[in-house]
A and B are shown apart, each in its own frame.
Chain A
Amino acid sequence: MSIRHALLALLSEGPKYGLQLRQEFEARTGEVWPLNVGQVYTTLQRLERDSLVESDGAEDGPQTQKGFRITGDGEAELAAWLLTPPDLSSPPRDELVIKVLIAAQLPGVDARQVAQAHRRYLVQLMQEWTRLKEYAADRDLGFGLAVDAELFRLDAVVRWLDAADGRIKRASLERLDADRAPLPKLPRKAVVRP
């Protein structure tokens, strides 16, 4: 999540104070991403250094009373950022994927049971998000979008677990068949009759 660009987006609506930016950021993202006030001011200082925002108010006055506005460069940066896809080309190191991969290869470990433990946890989380959606998503577009994003993300992991479960089941059946198969016949020795 780019706080830098989220703040630029809020400032593209008009000049704002730092504290106000933090409150609006949290409200717009459905309070799903909490932000501390220090992060807001550090980011604003960097934006100002890069000439993407300008501030007014006394340099030595309290920071909360400092107003910020977006510059022309800031507008251009924001427009370019919205259209630039994030880099998703390399798979992330996913702890859950690693656990299931290891379980599937360890003798004496029921990998399908491992997958189920994770599936249960994920579905429980999804139930909690769905309950939030049921109560609040219609009232707040930002919140609805953020909750949907989380539900689709968790859903994708559950679907991967389902696919993994099927794959592990097939692999173990094939191993079982291989174990049951008769030993390959050895070539008969040629008998040379006298």
Chain B
Amino acid sequence: MTVLELREVSKVYGDGPAEVHALADVSMTVDDGELVAVMGPSGSGKSTLLTIAGTLEEPTRGQVLVGGAAVSGMSRNDRARLRRRSIGYVFQDFNLLAGLTAAENVSLPLELDGMPGKPARAAGLRALEELGLGERAASFPDELSGGERQRVAIARAVVGERRLLLADEPSGALDSANGEAVMRLIRAACHSGVGGVVVTHDAQLASWADRVVFLRDGRVVDQTAPIPGPESLLAPER
């Protein structure tokens, strides 16, 4: 089933001679269980695409559908609920709240959504345990390594009943081993049924995706074909 659909989405900032076309007629879909990478250089419109997909910004033209529902028809409250309940974000700089522990950071979106503290914290702890961070639950962000912080951010993005995971250069500040670990976790989340979009300029990061969409100057110019099985690269039988 399609979790995210963009229909001919355009975004224009400014007007007159200062007009900037950040996105032009972008159409794409993401199914549940699928990880899509949007790859392009800086200034290609990747981050704009992600904020529009995450309903944080409205397109100038075109439509965004999350779980089949058009975002433009929703009230402010409905849209906020959709963001809290269905969409998880992972940012390059983690965006954890410094005054909250790892477990509190993860359970925060559930509590904001009205879940009582106790079950919310239990769900947060479970999400941390699944990412191998159970014993760091009581640590504050500044007591965690970069890799651990990013795992907390992923736990926060997938906790609860999230259906769409959006990540902006999720391994940007990490070394390649930690970056790989982050992409494994995002893939694992997608295998459990979440639809994922990762925007990046990094081909190694993008290559973890099931499909890579290429963005240039605000337009989708190309995408990769479905991947053949892993055996295709192994040495042929002699």
A and B bind: yes
Q: Which residues of A contact B (CB under 8 A)?
A: 26, 31-34, 36, 112, 116, 119-120, 122-124, 126-132, 134-136, 151-152, 154-155, 158-159, 162, 165-166
Top 8 A-B pairs, shortest CB-CB distance: A126-B207, A34-B235, A158-B203, A130-B207, A132-B230, A127-B207, A131-B230, A124-B224
A-B contact count (CB 8 A): 76
Question: Which residues 200-238 of B sit at the A interface, judged by CB distance below 8 A?
Answer: 201-204, 206-209, 212, 214, 216, 221-225, 227-228, 230, 232-236, 238
Q: How far does the Cβ of A186 sit from chain B's closest Cβ, in whole Å?
A: 32
A109 CA to B5 CA, complexed, in Å? 34
Q: How far is the CA of A135 from the CA of B208 in the complex (A)?
A: 12
Minimum CB–CB distance for B190 against chain A, Å: 12
Is the C-beta of B81 less than 8 angstroms from some C-beta in chain A? no
A120 touches B222 (CB 8 A): yes
Which A residues are CB-close (under 8 A) to B224? Answer: 120, 123-124, 127
- CB contact between B221 and one of A36, A116, A152 (< 8 Å): that residue: A116
Q: Which B residues are CB-close (under 8 A) to A151? A: 204, 207
- Number of contacting residues on B, CB 8 A? 29
Q: In whole Å, how far is B196's beta carbon from the nearest beta carbon of chain A?
A: 15
Query: Could you tell me if A134 and B203 are in contact, using CB atoms closer than 8 angstroms?
Result: no
Once the chains bind, are A162 and B233 in contact (CB under 8 Å)? Answer: no
Are A132 and B233 also in contact (CB < 8 A) when A123-B212, A124-B225, A151-B207 are?
A: yes
**Closest residue of B by beta carbon distance from A30:** B234
Q: Out of A26, A128, A166, which one reaches B235, CB within 8 Å?
A: A26
Complex formed: what's the CA distance from A120 to B222 in Å? 8
B235 partner residues in chain A, CB cutoff 8 A? 26, 31-34
Given contacts A116-B221, A165-B41, contact A122 B233 (CB under 8 A): no
Indicate which residue in A26, A36, A128, A155 contacts B230 across the interface (CB closer than 8 Å). Answer: A128
Complex Cα spacing A184 to B202, Å? 44
Q: Can you pick out 18 interface pairs between chain A and chain B where the beta carbons lie within 8 Å of each other?
A: A26-B235, A31-B235, A36-B238, A112-B216, A119-B214, A123-B224, A127-B207, A127-B209, A127-B212, A127-B224, A127-B227, A128-B228, A132-B233, A134-B184, A134-B208, A136-B230, A151-B204, A166-B41
Q: Does B128 contact A (CB under 8 A)?
A: no
Shortest CB-to-CB span from B206 to chain A, Å, is 6
- Chain A residues near B154 (CB, 8 Å)? none
Interface assignment of B90: CB less than 8 Å from any CB of chain A? no
B39 at the interface (CB under 8 A from A): yes
Contacts of A32 in B (CB 8 A): 235
Q: A122-B203, A152-B204, A162-B41 are in contact. List 4 more A-B contacts (CB 8 A).
A: A119-B222, A120-B212, A120-B223, A162-B201
> Hey, which chain B residues are within 8 Å of A119, CB to CB?
214, 222
Q: Mark B171-202, 1 if CB is under 8 A from A, else 0.
A: 00000000000001001000000000000011
